[in-house]
Structure 1
C-alpha cells in the first residue's frame, strides 16, 4: 500500500482542527480507561487521599447523571469544539421551531461509528443549538457503563450527556415546565457495525422504546438525520453471518459496547489510522410529531406512532438527500 503523507505546509488552523479531533477520538476510545487507571494508581502513591476523597464524592454524587447531570456552559462553548466542528465541517439545520414549553424526544440517525454529528450538535454549542432553539436544553443519551468510570463521568456530564436508561430520560421528560430535549441515537451500538460509506441501513424496525417513552410523557417526537455520518470511517467487512460479525454481536450482547473494526486516516498521513476523514456532516432536525400523553399505551398505539415516526424520518431523508450528494435511487433501509 502506498502511503500518502500530509504536506508540510499545512495551515495552523487545520493543525489545530486535527488536534481537536485527536482529543475527541481519544476521549471516546480510551479516556474512560485512562481515568480508571489513574484512580487506581493514585491509591498506591502518596496522593492516595485524592482517590479516597473522590470516592466519597462519587458515592454522594452517584445519582446525579440520572437526574439531568451537571452541564457546563463554559465547556460546551469551548473553542476546542469549534475546531472540531470545522475539521469536517459539521452543520446543524433547523426545519421547524420547538416550543420551549414542551418536552421532546429527538431520534438521531444514523449512529455512525463515533456519533460525531450528535455529539457536536447536542453536547457542544459549536453549531449554535441554543441560538436555533432558544429555551430548549438538549441531553444526549450514552451507555450507563461510562458513568461508572471515575473522573470520566464528571467530564461527559459537562456536555449534557446522561445515561441511556429509562429512568434518566423519564426524569427530564416529567418536567412540567418543558424545554428538555432527550436525544437518543436510536440504532445504538449495534447499528455502528453497519456504519460505512454509502450505507443507509438503520436499526429501527423493532426499536420502539423511545416511542413508548414519548407517549407516556406526552413528549413530541422529532426525527433527526445526519447526512455524512457514515462517511467518516471505513470498516472491515463484517456481513451478517460472518465469523467477525458473530464475535462482534456476541461481545456487544455481553458488554453492551460494540466493537466495529474501523479505520480512516492518521495524523501525518492520509492512508490509515483512527482519525475520521474530513467529510462534511449536515444534521437536519425535522418537524415535531405531536404525541398524546398516555401513561399506559397499548402495543397498537405504540406501533401506530412508530409507523408515523418512520414515515416522517423517510420524508425528511428524501426531501434533503439530493442536496447532500446522495443518489436519487438511494433510500433508507430499516432492519
Structure 2
C-alpha cells in the first residue's frame, strides 16, 4: 500500500488543529485506561499518598456526576477547542429560539463513532452555543462507566458531561435552574456500529425512555441532526447477521460500550490511522416541541409524543439536507 505522507510545509495553524484533535482522540480512547493504570501504579511508589487522598476525595465526591457534575467554564473556553472546531470544521446551526425559562431535552442524531459534533458544540464554547442560545446551559450525557474511572471522571465533568442514566438527567431537569438543556445521543453505543459514511440509519423507533423522562420533568423536546457525523471515519463493514456484528453486539451487551472497528487517517500521513478525516460537521438544532408535564404518562400519550418527535426529526433532516450535500432521494431510516 502506498502511503500518502503529509507535506512538510503544512501551516502552523493546521498543525495546531491536528494536535488539538489528536489530544481529543486520545482522551476518548486512551485517557481512561491511562488514569486507571496511574491510580494503581502510584500505590506502589513513594507517591502512594496521591492515590490514597484521591480515593478519600472520590468517596466524598461520588454522587457529584449524578447531581449535575462540575463544569469548569475556563476549560470549556480554551483555544484548543477552537482549533478542534476548525479542523473539520464544525458548525452549530440554529433554526429557532429556545426560551431560557424552560428546560429542554435535546436528542442528538446520529451518534457517529466518537460524537465529535456533540462534544464540540455542547461541551465547549467554540461553536457559539452560549451566544446562539443565551441563558441555556448544556449537559451532554456519557456512559456511566466512565464516571467510575479515577481522575478521568473529574476531567470529563469539567466539560459538563454527566452520566447517561435517568437519575442524572432527571436531576438536572428537576433541580437545576431553568434553562438547562440535557443533550442525549439517543442511539447510544449501539448506533455507533452503524456509523458508516453515507449511512442515515437512526436508532430511534423503539427509543422512548428520553421521551418519557421529558414528559415526567416537563422538559421541551428538541430534535438535533448532525450532518457529516458519520463521514469523518470509515468503519469495517459489519452488516447485521455477520460474525463481526454478532461479536460486537455481544460485547456491547456485556461491557456497555460498543467497539466499532473504525479508521481514517494518521497524524503525518493520510493513508491510515485513528485521526478523523477533515470533513465538515454541521449540527442543526431544530424547533422545540412543547411538552406538558405529566408524572405518569399513559402508553398512548408516550407513543403519540414519540411519533411527533420522529416526524419533527425527519422534517428537520428533509429541510436542511440539500444544504449539506445529501441527495434529494435520501431519507432517514428509523430502526
**TM-score band, normalised by the shorter chain?**
over 0.9
Q: Residue 326 of structure 1 corresponds to which residue in structure 2? A: 326
CA distance in 1, matches of 2:266, 2:252: 27
2:137 matched to which residue of 1? 137
Query: How far does the alpha carbon of each residue in 1:197-246 deviate from its partner, in whole angstroms, 9 at most, with x for none?
Result: 10000100000000000000110000000000000000001010100000
User: What is the CA-CA distance between 1:175 and the residue it aligns to?
Assistant: 3.2
Equivalent residue for 1:72?
Answer: 72
Cα drift, residue 196 of structure 1:
1.0
Following superposition, the deviation at residue 176 of structure 1 comes to 7.0
> Hey, what's the Cα distance between the residues in 1 that align with 2:293 and 2:71?
28
CA–CA distance in 2 between the matches of 1:238 and 1:31?
27
Q: 2-side partners of 1:125 and 1:159: how far apart?
A: 10
SS in 2 for 1:231: coil
Which residue does 2:286 correspond to in 1? Answer: 286
Hey, what does 1:186 align to over in structure 2?
186
Deviates further, 168-177 or 130-139: 168-177
TM-aligned CA deviation for residue 177 of structure 1: 3.7
4+ aligned runs moved over 2 Å, structure 1:
none
Partner of 1:203 in structure 2?
203
Does residue 159 of structure 1 match 2:154?
no
Q: Aligned residue for 2:115?
A: 115
Q: 3-state DSSP class of the match of 2:107?
A: strand
User: SS in structure 1 opposite 2:182?
Assistant: strand
Match of 1:233 in 2: 233
Q: Distance in 1 between matches of 2:232 and 2:71?
A: 28
TM-score, L = length of structure 2 = 0.99
Looking at structure 1, the residues matched to 122 and 226 of structure 2 have their Cα atoms a distance apart, in angstroms, of 12
**Number of aligned residue pairs:** 335
Alignment check: 8 A CA contact 1:109 1:202 kept: yes
- SS of match in other structure, 1:111: coil
Instruction: State the match for 2:106 in structure 1.
Output: 106
Matched, 1:17 2:17: yes
Aligned-residue offset at 1:101: 1.0
Report if the CA contact (8 A) 1:101-1:179 is conserved: yes
3-state SS of 1:238 partner = coil
| Larger mean Cα displacement after TM superposition, 176-185 or 34-43 | 176-185
Q: Normalising by the residue count of structure 1, what TM-score does the alignment of the two structures yield?
A: 0.99
Q: Distance in 2 between matches of 1:334 and 1:28?
A: 27
1:32 equivalent in structure 2:
32
Gaps of 5+ in 2: none
Matched, 1:307 2:295: no
Distance 2:118 2:285 in 1: 11
Q: CA RMSD in A?
A: 0.7
Name the CA distance, whole Å, in 2 between partners of 1:135 and 1:262: 37
Write the distance in 2 (CA, Å) between the matches of 1:268 and 1:322.
34
